[in-house]
Amino acid sequence: MSEQDSSEGAPKTGGGAPDDPSRRRMLKVGIGVLGGGVAAVCAVPAIGFVGFPLTHEVTSSGDGFLTVGKRSQFSAEAPVKVDLYASRRDAWTRVDSVKVGSAWVLEHEGKLVAYSTTCPHLGCAVDFDGNDSVFKCPCHRSEFKLDGVAASGPSPRPLDTLEIREEEGLVAIRFQRFRQGIAEKVEV
């Protein structure tokens, strides 16, 4: 709050006439540079801030292997439907034990396999018919054999297998979703 005239020492021009042009130019450039700097203080960090979801996983649900049960629960006799539970992250929120999907698990030719219950045609939940020993989709009657191959109906590809892992007698599945309605299995 000084009472000092800050323009003192600058060339005085009377009667409201402007200063000499070069000084005026300098002031204008100064205004541009300082003003730009002031604006940049917010504008520059704002880019990374607003664009954060482009470069970071903001939501996630069970990307890893999810335990579904003991090895002894599964056999070659009939597939068992298991629900997959995982923690779901949504920005600042975490929900524990939400059902993220389900899978059919069975032993086929001595090996454990897991099929996504999501029909590769248009995404209905595939059932198992114990009498005929086939998987049947209730929506458009696609049928799949125990090895997952589409036996009849509109499904463009076999049932989608999920990665499965055995560890210390426990079975774990990695849950994924795939694009529907196309012949290739492409993760979404």
Site of interaction with ligand FES (CB under 6 A): 119, 121-124, 137, 139-140, 142, 153-155
Contact string (CB under 8 A) for other proteins, positions 142-161, x = contact: --------------------
Instruction: Extract the runs of DSSP E, i.e. beta strands, from 28-159.
Output: 59-61, 65-70, 80-90, 93-108, 111-116, 127-129, 134-136, 143-144, 150-152
Size of the site for other proteins (CB under 8 A): 45
**Sheet with 143-144, edge to edge strand ranges:** 127-129, 134-136, 143-144, 150-152
Query: Among residues 9, 21, 41, 186, which is the contact residue for other proteins, using CB under 8 A?
Result: 41
Query: Among residues 4, 21, 184, 186, which is the contact residue for other proteins, using CB under 8 A?
Result: 4
Q: Identify which of residues 139 and 151 has a Cβ nearer to ligand FES in the complex.
A: 139
- Measured at the CA of 157, the angle between CA 153 and CA 162, to 5 degrees, comes to 125
State the CB neighbour count (10 A cutoff) for residue 137: 25
CB-neighbour burial class of residue 74 (10 A; exposed 0-12, middle 13-18, buried 19+): buried
Query: Among residues 9, 21, 57, 96, which is the contact residue for other proteins, using CB under 8 A?
Result: 96
38-46, 76-84, 105-113, 124-132 -> range binding other proteins (CB under 8 A): 38-46
Name which of residues 60 to 79 contact other proteins (CB under 8 A). Answer: 67, 70
Q: Token pair of 86, please? A: 């995982």
Work out what residue 155 binds among ligand FES, other proteins, none; the CB cut-off runs from 5 to 8 Å by kind: ligand FES
State how beta strands 111-116 and 93-108 pair: antiparallel
82-90, 105-113, 122-130, 145-153 -> range binding other proteins (CB under 8 A): 82-90
